[in-house]
Structure 1
Amino acid sequence: MTDRWFPKARPRAVAGGLQARSKRGAIARTWWSGRFVGVLEEMGMGGRLERGRNYARRGQVISLEVTAGSATARVQGSSATPYRVRIGITAFDKRDWSKVERTLAENAWYAAKLLAGEMPEDIEAVFADLGLPLFPTGARDLSMDCSCPDFQVPCKHLAAAFYLLAEAFDEDPFTILTWRGRTRDELLANLRTARAGTSPVGPALPTTPAAFYALQADLPSATAPASDPASLLDQLPATTFTLRGHTLPDLLRPAYQALDDLAYDH
């Protein structure tokens, strides 16, 4: 079914709508929003894809709210009443998020990036290793509803909401985690708690200079080497060098022995 079955009515103008920041070209600016838009573009929407992008750029989306498992929007079309749009996804349950948070907390790099408000570029792999896809892999992973009369899904109103949702991911990458069931504040609080419980506690440092420089334990006494150091000279490769009839090992042996005696006399 294509758009030719529906007359192309002009949408009603909206004052103060949510306009896409991108005015031309690709809307996604970051890897996480790009992954999401890629799913939309793989759905084969035909003209709805372009019209939905135009809706997003003209500010036809009046509102957008992201909660666990649901992104809801109001989109103004040609009708007097804005259409109600919902894009649903499965939110991970408490057990799933517990596994994710434990894995992230055990990795100092992931924990540091997230606690600094940054999204690690390979965080998707963490979810994948746990059998939890962070992004939808296609239309089958999403539930899509719009109150418009177009029975083709997704319609241009859904497409407009998709594009604004992608920009929401650009603005705050933690939005994708919210959509999957964990807000930024909840995630960071749980990471801090987990890190506090798993971080190793080292020995207390001395509080005074005297204690710091004091001998902490008896030093081991020196023991004789397993072999005579002078015997190492016998392992030297053969040379033609001689001095007054003595070979190089013979000349060096008294010095090796004297150093060995001196070390153990002290």
Structure 2
Amino acid sequence: MPEQWKFDARGPIRRDDGIQARSKRGTIAQTWWSQRFIEVLESFGMGGRLQRGKNYARSGQVFNLTLSTSVVVGLVQGSRPEPYRARIGIKAFSSQQWAHIERELAGQALYAAKLLAGEMPTGLEQVFADLGLELFPTTMRELTMDCSCPDWEIPCKHLAATCYLLAESFDEDPFQILAWRGRGREELLDRLRTLRGTQQVTAEVATDEDPLADHLHDFWTSPAPAGTPEVPAADALVLDELEPLPLTVGGTPVTDLLRPAYRAFTG
């Protein structure tokens, strides 16, 4: 019997420093976005191989998992002393494609707000689809997989274990999916903040509800000079409405002396 199968018959070498899946039974992926990724893997009906990969993920056989643009690498301890290197590749979106994606996300306040709050909006896939892009792989042809193990089947249990733990990392941080596609968390959020600020200023200037919109043509002109306030005319008849003043000048009541002056003002 070949040496490789002798090692396999013993089962994997246990590690104390492995990454153990949080889920101990049933489905590993918990959120809708990580489940979408696992659906692709499980759609091929490779039940026994995938189940062994799930067992590897739960028992901590994967002891290192790194994600960078386009590539995820897992180091998986199998039955041989030297760990296997499992790689999962996906095509990253171009800078131009990301520019279109960011404009679309910034233009939809709900999506932008959820992403800025660290959440994955449920309609995010549709934003990509409207641009002719797919956020999640839909077929195995969109993924490049290879493993240093002697198993020629793809995915092998080492790749499957890496995929399951990758899905759990998506549960913890949905921005990992976007980083895999070529846009890191901070870079994306900075772009959204910038675009949202630009769009908000533009919208505020252009809105018809702006109270200054009807006055932009004369905003910088000098205001019309204020006219002389109108003083109500003094009416001599008002003297007759007053109580008689107990004053006289040379024997003439003061009211009679003021009457000619009131007539002059109203004349």
TM-score bucket of the superposed structures, by smaller chain: 0.7 to 0.9
Shift of 1:141: 0.5
Structure 1 runs of 4+ aligned residues shifted over 3 Å read 5-9, 201-205
The residue number in structure 2 matching 1:249 is none
Contact 1:43–1:138, Cα closer than 8 Å, also in 2: no
The residue number in structure 1 matching 2:195 is 194
Letter in structure 1 aligned against 2:204: V
The residue number in structure 1 matching 2:78 is 77
CA distance in 2, matches of 1:154, 1:44: 11
Residues 94-114 of structure 1: CA distance to partner in whole angstroms, max 9, x if unpaired?
000000000000111111111
Residues 60-81 of structure 1: CA distance to partner in whole angstroms, max 9, x if unpaired?
0011111110111100000100
Letter in structure 2 aligned against 1:90: K
Unaligned runs of 5+ in 1: 206-266
The residue correspondences of 1:80-99 to structure 2 (distance < 5 A) are 80-99=81-100
The residue correspondences of 1:217-236 to structure 2 (distance < 5 A) are none
CA distance in 1, matches of 2:20, 2:194: 39
CA distance in 2, matches of 1:183, 1:8: 42
Shift of 1:138: 1.4
CA distance in 2, matches of 1:179, 1:9: 35
CA distance in 1, matches of 2:9, 2:43: 24
CA distance in 2, matches of 1:201, 1:126: 25
Shift of 1:30: 0.7
The residue number in structure 1 matching 2:112 is 111
Contact 1:55–1:160, Cα closer than 8 Å, also in 2: yes
**Local SS of the residue matching 1:19:** coil
CA distance in 1, matches of 2:187, 2:46: 36
The residue number in structure 2 matching 1:174 is 175
**Local SS of the residue matching 1:85:** strand
Q: Which has the higher mean CA deviation after the structures are superposed, 92-101 or 107-116?
A: 107-116
**Local SS of the residue matching 1:201:** helix
Shift of 1:204: 8.7
CA distance in 2, matches of 1:158, 1:193: 39
Residues 78-133 of structure 1: CA distance to partner in whole angstroms, max 9, x if unpaired?
01001011000000010000000000001111111111111101101100111110
The residue correspondences of 1:1-266 to structure 2 (distance < 5 A) are 7-199=8-200, 200-201=203-204
**Local SS of the residue matching 2:204:** coil
Residues 163-219 of structure 1: CA distance to partner in whole angstroms, max 9, x if unpaired?
0000000011111101111111111000011111111335699xxxxxxxxxxxxxx
The residue number in structure 2 matching 1:210 is none
Letter in structure 2 aligned against 1:171: E
Shift of 1:46: 3.2
CA distance in 1, matches of 2:145, 2:211: 57
> Scaled by the length of structure 1, what TM-score is found?
0.73
Letter in structure 1 aligned against 2:83: P
CA distance in 1, matches of 2:160, 2:9: 16
Letter in structure 2 aligned against 1:173: P
CA distance in 2, matches of 1:204, 1:193: 26
Count of residue correspondences: 201
**Local SS of the residue matching 2:85:** strand
